[in-house]
A and B are shown apart, each in its own frame.
Chain A
Amino acid sequence: MAAIITLSLLGILVLYLGLFKAKSALLPVTLIGLLVALGCELALWGGDAKPIYSGMVVFDNFALAFSILCIVTTGLILLLSKAYFSSISNNVAEYYCLILFSLTGALMVSAYHNFAMLFIGIEVMSVALYILVGIRKTDFGSNEAALKYFLMGAFSTGFLLFGITLLYGATGTFDITGVREYLIANPQQISPYFYGGVLLLLIGLCFKVGAAPFHFWTPDVYEGAPILITSYMSTVVKVASFAGFLRLFGYVFVPLHDFWPPVLLIVIIITLFIGNITAMMQASFKRMLAYSSISHAGYMLFAIVALGATSTSSIFTYAIAYSLSSVAAFAGLILVKRAKGSDQFVAFNGLGKTNPFLAFVITVAMLSLAGIPLTAGFIGKFMMFNTVMQDYHIVLLLLAVVNAAIGVFYYLRVVVHMYFKTAEDEGGAIVLPLSFKVVLATTVALTLLIGLYPDCIIGLL
């Protein structure tokens, strides 16, 4: 809880710093605050996890692991923001403050123990993002993305709430342990409200994580938003939503395990195919990453269908691998976009010659996203497929492998552009600021480390 309080206060502090024109202090203060929050989370690790504040939140290792991942990813993204925000707006303090508030929501979603906290967490996380997406006020794309995101977000909140209400009608409690106990106590005569509630919750959460057939807002919003916000949305927000998803379906609805998995299976198969096949047809790197994030949502849903002893661990590993490589890819995209003014694949031409380090980092990130061995992405995919294998979903596994193969095609396309095509205008090397170097080196090192020694992550949960 200390981390959530720290981050909320930090957001207000940052706003005041902006008021007093202390622009150069913004980033250091934010990063120090994130470190404090990280420390608070680490101090709780392995402790005796009991629901606190009248059963509102619970900081078990599951919640802590996902919170730590969210905080670290936000820190990496904020390091990239040094010159970025001031180049697109004068109100820099608002960016930091809104990202911090959104992060607070993400922590609540990963630690909720009551449906009220799930709802509040999702709203806090999204409302801050509606503003962040539309922060370039005069840009048409940003406007459109903000409006679409807002409408779809509010719409899906309606479904989520109706679902929660029906669950409340059936069980008489908002406490997730209470709901679980209701399911265990009455296995035969579960109220019909409950089934409706589960389905509506599923729809609401699928909207949030961008799983097909509720994915249609994702590419537009990811393309229209500023790149840094896109990277935040596709990593932190997605990871937190999956933590919430997994707690709900992997803990609360487990006793109902013969009802919802078929629905989720259909969602996964549609998500994988739509995400991968459309990603193949994109000419823009940013949009390709948006569609690839849809397909990764499909892979992460695997762990929820095939619940087993290792499913939390595998979804966590996958989330780490995905977040690290996405941050690296978006960092590369920011640099290339700034130098060449375009986010098409063509802009990456000849990068292997002019910027060997940057090209190497993007290559590792792409290989990790595609799931090639020796990278973290491979370990994540391997663990996912392994959980599904244990549950004998052979058809699902075959479809997933086909999709992984499609994925390799479009991820390697940017690598081909970097190493085997020459740029028309030799613009010279792109200058990498120090903070970018730090972020790129960290993400690559961690990706390779987890790829080589996966035990350091797998044993955690």
Chain B
Amino acid sequence: MDNIIQNIQGIPLNHYLIFCSIIFSIGVIGVLIRRNVIIIMMSIELMLNSVNLLLAAFSAYRGDASGQVFVFFIMALAAAEVAVGLAIVIMVYRNTKSVDIESLSKLRW
């Protein structure tokens, strides 16, 4: 375990931060520009996982376990969220025969 932490600390913290910010931004851009619901959900997962990675890095640098525990919370709740989300996507697919969000534009102001 100490070995892993030393390996993590071998890379400067800023690199983790920049790397995670880039992944997070890719996720955000994916949500904003993609039209396929499944790909949007994948982009959201990317956002959450970049957060997980950053938490693990911070936690290793500070020698504080609570950050890693938080990662488990995020994983568990993200799984619950995706389970509900996929059920919603299937429900929508049964009605519209499509997973494109353009097919859902009945409610407009």
Contacts and interface: CB of A to CB of B under 8 A. Distances in A.
A127 B80 contact: yes
B104 A174 contact: no
Interface in A197-229: 219-220, 223-224
B8 interface: no
Contact of B104 (A119, A137, A144): A144
Interface in A129-148: 130-131, 134, 137-138, 140-141, 143-148
A287 B66 CA distance: 43
Interface in B41-93: 41, 44, 47-48, 50-51, 54-55, 58, 62, 64, 66-67, 69-70, 73-74, 77, 80-81, 84-85, 87-89, 91-92
Contact of B74 (A145, A155, A161, A287): A161
A123 B70 contact: no
Interface in B1-47: 17, 24, 27-28, 31, 37, 40-41, 44, 47
A278 B88 contact: no
A162 interface: yes
A127 B48 contact: no
Contact of A155 (B44, B54, B96): B44
A143 B85 CA distance: 12
A168 B67 contact: yes
A173 B101 CA distance: 39
A120 interface: yes
B58 A168 contact: yes
B91 A162 contact: no
Nearest to A153: B81
B88 to A, nearest CB: 5
Given A120-B73, A169-B58, A146 B95 contact: no
A214 to B, nearest CB: 13
B97 interface: no
A220 B104 CA distance: 11
A151 interface: yes
Contacts of B81: 123, 127, 130, 150, 154, 157
Q: Which of under 10, 10 to 19, 20 to 34, or 35 or more describes the interface residues of B?
A: 35 or more
A172 interface: yes
A198 to B, nearest CB: 16
A158 interface: yes
A119 B73 contact: yes
Contacts of A154: 41, 44, 81, 85
Contacts of B41: 151, 154
Given A158-B48, A161-B48, A168-B55, A144 B107 contact: yes
Interface string A355-375: 000000000000000000000
A295 interface: no
Nearest to A193: B17
A302 to B, nearest CB: 25
A218 B81 CA distance: 19
Contacts of A145: 107
B85 A140 contact: no
Contacts of B64: 172-173
Contact of B31 (A119, A141, A151): A151
24 contacts: A123-B80, A123-B81, A127-B81, A130-B88, A131-B84, A131-B87, A131-B88, A134-B88, A134-B91, A140-B104, A141-B106, A143-B91, A143-B92, A144-B92, A158-B27, A158-B47, A158-B51, A161-B47, A161-B74, A162-B47, A168-B70, A169-B58, A173-B66, A220-B108
Given A119-B77, A131-B88, A158-B27, 9 more contacts: A130-B81, A130-B85, A141-B106, A144-B107, A146-B88, A155-B47, A162-B50, A165-B58, A172-B58
